[in-house]
Structure 1
Amino acid sequence: MNGRDRAEHAARERLVASLLRELDPPAVREGDTLRLTLPAGVLGVGLATWSPTGHHRLSGDVTLDGRPATHDEVVAAVLETVAGGEPPDHLAALVANSVDRTARYLDAPAHATGDPTRDAEQALRLGHPFHPTPKSAEGLDDADLAAWMPELGASFVLHHLAVRPDLVLAGGAPADPPPAVADRLPAGWTALPVHPFQARVLARDPTLALLEAEGGVRWLGPLGDPVWPTSSVRTVVDTVTGASWKLPLRARLTHFVRTTPPEQARRAVDAAAVVARLGALPPGFGVIADRGFATLDPAVGGERLAADLTVITRAPFPPGRPRVLAALLEDGPRGEEPPLAGEVRAAGDVHAWLRRWLAVSLVPLLQVYGAVGLGFEAHPQNTLVATDADGWPAACWVRDLEGAHVRRDHVPPGLPADSPLVYATEEAWRRLRYHGVVNHLALLVAVLGRHTVGEEALWATVAAVLAEVSDPAARPWAQDLLTSPTLPAKAHLRSWAAGRGEDPVYLDLPNPIRMGP
């Protein structure tokens, strides 16, 4: 298949898998064919593999009422079924946008740099397995993709906005500006790095123009060494120093406009402070901390402009050449097996490999959550794996503390009770289970199971590891995962169709860990 065919196949796979998970339409399985009764007719899809957690893989052609169906007909049939708040034509256009982008990424020439960390960050071509538009990018044209997208190996120079000290809102420990910026910066002023796309957007902002005319802000232009974007698109890494910044983009990627309200930045800084007070973390587990933030004070320019300028300074990547887990679990651009599948097979024992991974990932997540109530948004794109020379897990790193959370019944000392990091207890536990188990672990088990011993056998290993947890802080949460009949999942398709990106619908899935021994 060429890139277009593979992109359309991936989109259909995501739509059908999401439809089965979220809406459970009447279905009949006949051998390797699944027939779904939808409002548009009976949709027939070939099954390459069936997954107990919904990570099904499709094969062959698709039919509608017994006749061959086009890709657009499949998309329309699914969208008619989900029938959310957005107009169907608009939703179909978003799917087409995502497919166009995906096809371009799949057909692009290889752009390996020799840096395993960067190469993995810039190799995530297909995206979230349960999102209907994982690569849609509203507001970015084809030239923008070439200039700024990680999937195309982009690197570029950041713009900088100088802000007078009385107009700055900051928290934590924002980084010092690079020398090339400091040389142009008025004494005492703060330099905000700005993505080139965002600089173009803000060049038309009347409030910022007024502040510039009044002498409160000053554009310094593009300065400093080139940066490269990570898989999130808007987090960038300095090619020389390794410094990292999370930047706002007033563009809709998947179904979020990727700006950063100051409250979200405060959450990241508060989470980093909790981590710092923990002292030693569990062996093999690490956190890439968000060190500080700076922006234009909302009291001066308003909340929207503050969100358009908030810069979060992140610690550099740790040693050990860690790689983002999401890229290791994704098929290659020509349909090759996921990189991690071959590495685990070469290591020799998938059950032993999974045990080691759980020892540095899920078990420490539960230990930290039990000890201080702090949970991490440890989905595959926020999780990095470092392996030893033989391919065995050596360390797990989590990042993006903007998505961290503390449960209200266990606020750690030193954290204000009104911190945006504090969530209702039930919501905090739901978030950890969704991101760490349903989103992260279920994908890992599905991929490794597909290429080795099957998912059920690996879920039995997960259950065995959780049953062995003896840490008194972690054990109650491990027992909950062992015994709960369900686990929470975001209904991405329904949330997307209803325009509820910021307030997603959740659903309950059968707990595969409970299906263990």
Structure 2
Amino acid sequence: MTTGREVGPRVRAERAARERLVASLLRELDPPAVLDGDTLLLALPAGALAVGVATWSPTGHHRLTGEVTLDGRPATHDEVVAAVLDTVGGGEPVDHLAGLVANSVDRTARYLAHADGAPACPGGDPTRDAEQSLRLGHPFHPTPKSAEGLDDGDLPAWMPELGASFVLHHLAVRSDLVRTGGTPGDPPPAVAARLPPGWTALPMHPFQAGLLARDPTLALLGAEGAVRWLGPLGDAVWPTSSVRTVVDGVTGASWKLPLRARLTHFVRTTPLEQARRAVDAAAVVAGIGPLPPGFGVIADRGFATLDPAVGGERLAADLTVVTRAPFPPGRPRVLAALLEDGPHGEEPPLVGEVRAAGDVHAWLRRWLAVSLVPLLELFGSAGLGFEAHPQNTLVATDADGWPAACWVRDLEGAHVRRDHLPDGLAADSALVYPPEEAWRRLRYHAVVNHLALLVAVLGRHTAGEEALWATVAGVLAELGGPWAEDLLTSPTLPAKAHLRSWAAGRGEDPVYLDLPNPIRMGP
């Protein structure tokens, strides 16, 4: 098998896409399949597909080789994509879906090519380097690097994978027309100097500013003297792995901005309900008191937008800016980037750190002590859960590579059990879910999405997945309680069917499925 350095970025991008499509097909549709040595044989409507298997994973994180045939002859990448999509069906035309996959592959190849000549740690900042090095994306999404609405020419200006940085635009709005929640904070000095008394500044992504410059409602409000464009002001910011959250390179201030572009499933604007969820969740966290040792939350402090009564719900969603707390000390790095192979197929960065620490089981126990264990404790004591998937989870390690802290972010996805409402939280808050739905969300994000990927990556390079899942089971048995007991005994865990949901156009209302619970397999 050729190595990553022997093939170009286009081939590496296509291999990554096929791996995601085949792994998702196996997880979501369970087609007739036989694993014959290191070859997986799949009986699909398009024919007999055979793919080379490098490693097999009990949680579906299989790694494939580049070898692939269809009905016994070498198959092209496009043929494999069409064969998988034809099997899925779902409503959208296969040609259209294949075009979306091709677009994601094109961009992945571009990011991998950029990495060939890009220095690590621009400015010596490991936090930024990790945020801007997630080049392959979600391991179970068919188009992890799709960005519908952003043209290829936009990418160098806006995409974290290309090391982008830029200056935010600002819209001044009469303060009586502004809706706020929480504590949005003061504008940067360069913005405040241009802001008339009694006005509020809404920072805006330059791409979004270009779109809204043609908005007829804003034009009418401008003619009435209710809003005015201030243009680009302040220090340069850089985008995190989410594309639309940006960090001030000088002060560390951070904002989650609307972006009218479809990234993977969703158009990334911010309806008021989502902003209120984040602020409500921050208030719940603040009311809990001291968090478990080693566990932290990067709070969304407040939001500001144009009042929907003035410009309508859609324009409010196009303008809502959420002010987020700065990155914490300790130079934390986003977990998703630490678990992703290097641009030439090098082992993920976290693997080397775990090896340096010397004991993968001890490392995993220490990570669970600052991640899954506090998540379960807070869900039990405060009824609060977080979307702690790998892109929302930050890792801080000490000089020897051992986990020192876990931080979670993006409180828009937090959730509270209806049977455990904290004081001060309204029962009709969008943060509140039925208990079974809240538990499903926590298990999916923290266990299926986060922990299963971590165990798969570490297991592949060290002790094997089954041995590491046994370590997880041991930690949960020591913890005890109903939530740990459920994880130890339930035969299945919930997962989103990303491929089927995407093919059916159900990004906002995803299909769920049940996966065999790997923790239950442990002793």
Q: TM-score range by the shorter chain?
A: over 0.9
Q: Which residue of 2 aligns with 1:183?
A: 193
**Deviation for aligned residue 1:85:** 1.9
Stretches of structure 1 that go unaligned for 5 or more consecutive residues are none
Partner Cα distance (1:87, 1:356) in 2:
47
* Equivalent pairs, count: 513
Partner Cα distance (1:210, 1:143) in 2:
31
Partner Cα distance (2:40, 2:299) in 1:
45
Structure 2 residue aligned with 1:132, among 142, 146, 154? 142
Structure 2 residue aligned with 1:62, among 58, 68, 75? 68
**Deviation for aligned residue 1:32:** 0.5
Length-normalised TM-score, structure 2? 0.97
Which amino acid is the alignment partner of residue 143 of structure 2?
A: T
Q: Which residue of 2 aligns with 1:52?
A: 58
**Deviation for aligned residue 1:304:** 0.6
Q: Which residue of 1 aligns with 2:3?
A: none
**Deviation for aligned residue 1:498:** 0.3
Contact 2:43-2:49 within 8 A present in 1 as well: yes
Partner Cα distance (1:413, 1:86) in 2:
46
Q: Which residue of 2 aligns with 1:391?
A: 401
Q: Which residue of 1 aligns with 2:324?
A: 314
Partner Cα distance (2:422, 2:91) in 1:
40
**Deviation for aligned residue 1:137:** 1.0
Question: Identity percentage over the alignment?
Answer: 87
**Deviation for aligned residue 1:350:** 0.1
Q: Which residue of 1 aligns with 2:118?
A: 110
Instruction: Provide, for residues 369-399 of structure 1, a one-character-per-residue CA deviation record: whole Å limited to 9, x for no partner.
Output: 0011100000000000000010000000000
Partner Cα distance (2:66, 2:189) in 1:
57
Q: Which residue of 2 aligns with 1:374?
A: 384
Q: Which residue of 2 aligns with 1:481?
A: 487
* 1:507 and 2:513 correspond: yes
Contact 2:246-2:254 within 8 A present in 1 as well: yes
Secondary structure of 2:235's aligned partner: coil
* CA RMSD across the alignment: 0.7
Secondary structure of 2:165's aligned partner: coil
Q: Which residue of 1 aligns with 2:454?
A: 444
**Deviation for aligned residue 1:142:** 2.1
Partner Cα distance (1:183, 1:442) in 2:
49
Which amino acid is the alignment partner of residue 262 of structure 2?
A: R
Q: Which residue of 1 aligns with 2:503?
A: 497
Which amino acid is the alignment partner of residue 3 of structure 1?
A: P
Instruction: Provide, for residues 78-132 of structure 1, a one-character-per-residue CA deviation record: whole Å limited to 9, x for no partner.
Output: 1101101212111111100100000000010214311010000000000000000
Partner Cα distance (2:66, 2:83) in 1:
18
* 1:269 and 2:279 correspond: yes
Structure 1 residue aligned with 2:262, among 248, 252, 258? 252
Secondary structure of 2:259's aligned partner: coil
**What does residue range 341-380 of structure 1 map to in structure 2 within 5 Å?**
341-380=351-390
Larger deviation, residues 150-159 vs 87-96: 87-96
Structure 1 residue aligned with 2:427, among 408, 417, 421? 417
Secondary structure of 1:441's aligned partner: helix
Which amino acid is the alignment partner of residue 159 of structure 2?
A: M
Q: Which residue of 1 aligns with 2:180?
A: 170
Q: Which residue of 2 aligns with 1:32?
A: 38
Structure 1 residue aligned with 2:437, among 423, 427, 443? 427
Contact 2:20-2:142 within 8 A present in 1 as well: yes
Partner Cα distance (1:60, 1:421) in 2:
44
**Deviation for aligned residue 1:22:** 0.1
Partner Cα distance (2:439, 2:219) in 1:
44
Partner Cα distance (2:313, 2:43) in 1:
47
* 1:85 and 2:91 correspond: yes
Secondary structure of 1:468's aligned partner: helix
Q: Which residue of 2 aligns with 1:17?
A: 23
Length-normalised TM-score, structure 1? 0.99
Partner Cα distance (1:55, 1:48) in 2:
11
Instruction: Provide, for residues 312-343 of structure 1, a one-character-per-residue CA deviation record: whole Å limited to 9, x for no partner.
Output: 00000000000000000000011110000111
Larger deviation, residues 409-418 vs 240-249: 409-418
Partner Cα distance (1:120, 1:28) in 2:
38
Secondary structure of 2:457's aligned partner: helix
